[in-house]
Amino acid sequence: MDINVLAFLVPAGIISCFLPLSDASSFMVLYLVTAVYFSGVMVRLMLVLAPAACILSGIALSSAFDVLTRSMKFQLSKLFDDGPAISGNGSPNGSSASTVNTSSSKNEKTEKSEAAPKEKQSKKNRRKDKEVTESVSVKPKKEKRLSVLPLEASIVSTLLLIALGGFYVVHCVWAAAEAYSAPSIVLTSRSREGLHVFDDFREAYAWLSHNTDVDDKVASWWDYGYQTTAMANRTVIVDNNTWNNTHIATVGTAMSSPEKAAWEIFDSLDVKYVLVVFGGLVGYPSDDINKFLWMVRIGGGEFPHIKEPDYLRDGQYRVDAQATPTMLNCLMYKLCYYRFVETDGKGFDRVRGYEIGKKHFKLTHFEEVFTTHHWMVRIYKLKPQKNRIRGKLKKLKSSSKTSSTLAAGRKKNPWQ
């Protein structure tokens, strides 16, 4: 959808770069190869591929128009030059013959004048001159044989390329209007019933803004960090500008860990709420389950106990009955699919295309506090542990005792 017809013009541009190969053309080929690789790894890096694709497509179009226009020019000049030559030979006028004779006499004089100094040259120079004249006279003939096309084919091909360029302009305008002009927070979809608007993100951020304290911290994947900060006015652990890979790996490790271990990690970060994005009910593909493989990989890069093969079944991330126990017991699975079976009685995930493996389970360290209308955003709160509360109460009692003793000491000693 993004590069459209450029996918066909780029290979032609690569071929043009090799005819002939120079430093600039080799740079463009290497740039394209690396850009294709990185854009295949991450789709947002299409921004890196776009300049290379446009430049190579422009080179292909320039080469094609060069051949076509040169062919049309050559064929038209040949067509118009043949007419006067035939009429001149067939006409009885003596003017044409006299012009031919005068031109031939002039050519003979110039040839005689040029032949005099050539006789004085050595044999080696004569051989060199012959080689140069032969090479010069042969090259244009080869170029004309390779590049000259019939007039009709040249005209039709030129019109087709112009129509292709116009179609691509129309496609770019459509893609900019439909795919790149809509906000990423409010989503829309079309069906037979009409236009459907999914306003779940604003709904979730509004709930965070009105139902949580200003000092509360929210943990989520880094994609939603800027939106949470701007729209909910809450502190996040990681966002789109997080340069420290350990911070992102810590959140990914928490999402990949079992519930108790994840609670320990979030509690150490002073997190109060956890936000996840889930698209299994409405078919939203850019949810956290599809992004989960990056959470595992980034987390495993910093914390070796997170191993990607533990989450794979036959080389795939699965959430159905064939999923691994590590996958079914991780925090991300539980937060996304908690009470999901209540929607249709089967727990069918529309994005993955099958029923989930673990349907009935309870949360022990997290509690659901808010789920949006279409289940696209789900917010959970960390449950306070009883032993942690008792420990805090003991600390408060001990601190109150110390403060009382200090106050008593101050009363006894008026100099303090």
Could you tell me the residue ranges of all domains in the chain?
A: 1-78+150-182, 195-382
The DSSP output letter for 110 is H
User: What's the pLDDT tens digit per position in 265-280?
Assistant: 999 999 999 999 999 9
CA distances from 96 to 90, 302, 390, 403 (A): 10, 91, 119, 125
Q: Class assignment of domain 195-382?
A: alpha beta
Q: Are 374 and 287 in contact (CB under 8 A)?
A: no
Q: What is the pLDDT of residue 391?
A: 41
Q: How far apart are CA 303 and CA 252, in angstroms?
A: 10
Q: What is the pLDDT of residue 121?
A: 52
Q: Do the strands 366-371 and 348-349 form a parallel or antiparallel pair, or are they unpaired?
A: unpaired
- Tokens representing 381 are 């709160």
pTM: 0.61
3-class DSSP state of 321: coil
The DSSP output letter for 380 is E
3-class DSSP state of 369: strand
- Tokens representing 176 are 């900019």
3-class DSSP state of 351: coil
Classify 31 in phi/psi space as left (phi over 0), alpha (psi -120 to 50) or beta. alpha
Q: How far apart are CA 80 and CA 96, in angstroms?
A: 18
Q: What is the pLDDT of residue 290?
A: 93
- All residue ranges of the chain with pLDDT < 70 are 82-147, 387-416
Q: What is the pLDDT of residue 134?
A: 52
Q: Are 336 and 368 in contact (CB under 8 A)?
A: no
Closest CA to 205 of 221, 229, 189: 229
How far from chain centre, in Å, is Cα 326? 31
**DSSP readout, 150-189?**
-HHHHHHHHHHHHHHHHHHHHHHHHHHHHTSSS-SSSEEE
Q: How far apart are CA 293 and CA 255, in angstroms?
A: 11
